[in-house]
Structure 1
Amino acid sequence: MAVPTQAFGADGRLPGDATALRDLVERTLVSRRLDAELAARFPVGRRLRVLDVGAGEGAQTLRLARLGHEVTGLDLDPRMLRSARDALECEPPGVRRRVRLLTGDARATGALFRPGTFDAVLCHGVLMYVEEPGPLLAGLARVLAAGGLLSLLVRNADALAVGPGLAGDWAGALTAFDDPHCTDHVGVAARADRLGALTAALAGTGVPLRTWYGVGVFTGHRTEPGPAPHRQPSEGELEPLLAAEERAGATDPYRSVAPLLHLCATRD
């Protein structure tokens, strides 16, 4: 996945603060890994049935539809779905025909669709807002077809102390070692998961974890604007940054301290 040039301002730099950089790194690396995992499991050119749980404004839903897949986007927030529908209206007719946008709770996924309906199920940034992940994971597994891919993006409980520690918040760091509860970047209450617990939970659903990656090892914990104080990366600097993030996210021990984990599980 190429980095969109429209993300950069007239000065050739990424506008905004640390959140803009973090979001761009997350979106780009998760998309690259997802595409690679799908390409490894399915024949080239096969049109997949994809469910995007917690579709939000539809970034992954629309991207995968542009690649030729049939995508169902599910979200509980009507404002997010309105944004997704507005974005969908700007797409060519062929893309629009391949997308369904539905209002629904992620926790009801197993009841909303027939078993084995989808070749790939995405659930990115949802588990962190669910207190008990077990029932949600069971529902996602239920609708996944044999040979299908389950892609999860979760907050890493084993790295919660890194952010406050880097910011000099020592009390917060000490609390984060043991408490999986936290707040997201917009101040909403959230929760993190430990890799070991998720591995066991996925095995129990019949969709065992196959591989996992760290996301945002170098940029995800930052609170200042960019790689140097008050300066965002230029377009020329971003690809090396992404390459470093991508390698760290696939390499021990770096990936273990990433703020987010991208988990790929399969039903064989």
Structure 2
Amino acid sequence: MREDRHFVGEMAAKFERSLYGASRGQLRLALLQDTVARELPLSAEPLLDAGGGLGQMAEWAARRGHAVTLVEPAQEMLLRARERLAGLDVRCLQGDLQSLERLAPGPWPRIFCHAVLEWLAKPRAGLEALSAQLAPGGWMSLMVFNRDALRFSNVIKGNLERVLEDRLAGDGRRTRLTPISPLGHDEVIDWLDALGLEVHGVTGIRVFHDYLRSRYPSEEELVLLRRLEFAYCRAEPYWRLGRYLHYSVHRPA
């Protein structure tokens, strides 16, 4: 039986180094912050950052006036987040999505959950736990790892048998950063609809970057690529191949 994957030990260091120490992480963060600011009504509401990782989005929200509660299961990630967030109005708690009702009970007017569900053995149950904490009239910023993008990138890399056999998910071993439960757009929409939640916007996060021939684009290429990413992240058909899919989710009052 599969278990949830938390970024413990070397995973935390690898995540910080290989994601946010590279152009893909910097671009992900820029696109995510722009999308949240564009699509979610944000003033100074209390905000829950579920699975908040290293604390980048908690820091961004706190500097915009939110009192943030960050919940993160991995101790190494939480220690790094606390260092980043020192002096800000952020409360850091150790726990997973299943413990939200006990650690950080709602209802919350605003929730962030970014790149978390795909690391759960039962992602739908994780989404249900989030939904239970979202207040009537509240908004959730939800980002998931896109299974279709994973399929496409494996074809580009020549992993044809793996794609034909649908062996796309990570196995949860070693320090690989391939999620154990990548998600498809249609299933996410179905789950949200079943929970009575409305989707007010979908954005592809990194719709071009991960398919470049060059793994390490030059600074000049990154400037042009950033313009392309922002121009096409919500345009058909490109958003559908974003490495991540972002959903602006609303619970009707």
Alignment CA distance shift 1:213-1:113 (3 Å): same
Q: Which runs of 5+ in 1 are unaligned?
A: 1-15
Partner SS state of residue 162, structure 1: helix
Distance 2:169 2:29 in 1: 24
Q: 1:145 to 1:151 in 2, by over 3 A?
A: same
How far apart, CA to CA, are the structure 1 residues paired with 2:203 and 2:194?
A: 21
Q: State the SS of the aligned residue for 2:44.
A: coil
Q: Give the CA deviation at 1:180.
A: 5.1
Write the letter of the residue equivalent to 1:143. Q
Cα RMSD after superposing both structures: 2.6
> CA contact under 8 A between 2:209 and 2:225: conserved in structure 1?
no
Q: May I ask how many residue pairs the two structures share in their alignment?
A: 234
Q: Within the alignment, does 1:26 sit opposite 2:12 as a pair? A: no
Structure 2: stretches of 5+ with no match in the other structure: 1-17
Identity of aligned residues (%): 27
1:187 pairs, out of 172, 176, 193, with: 176
CA contact (8 A) 1:221 1:259 kept: no
- How far 1:173 moved relative to its partner? 3.2
CA contact (8 A) 1:137 1:205 kept: no
Amino acid at match of 2:210: G
Contact 1:110 1:140 in 2 (8 A): no
For 1:27, the aligned partner's letter is L
SS in 2 for 1:225: coil
Larger Rg: 1
| Map of 1:108 onto structure 2 | 99
1:42-98 CA distance string (max 9 Å, x none): 5xxx31111111111111111110111111100011111111111222xxx4xx2x2
Equivalent residue for 1:74? Answer: 71
Q: Within 2, Cα distance between the matches of 1:37 and 1:100?
A: 25
Please report the TM-score for the alignment, with normalisation by the length of structure 1.
0.79
2:37 aligned residue: 35
Which residues of 2 match residues 1-268 of structure 1 at below 5 A? 20-38=22-40, 41-42=41-42, 46-89=43-86, 93=87, 96=88, 98-116=89-107, 118-175=108-165, 178-179=166-167, 181-182=169-170, 187-188=176-177, 189-222=179-212, 224-227=214-217, 232-234=218-220, 238-268=222-252
TM-score, length of structure 2 as denominator length: 0.83
Asked if the contact 1:213/1:250 (under 8 Å) is kept, the reply is yes
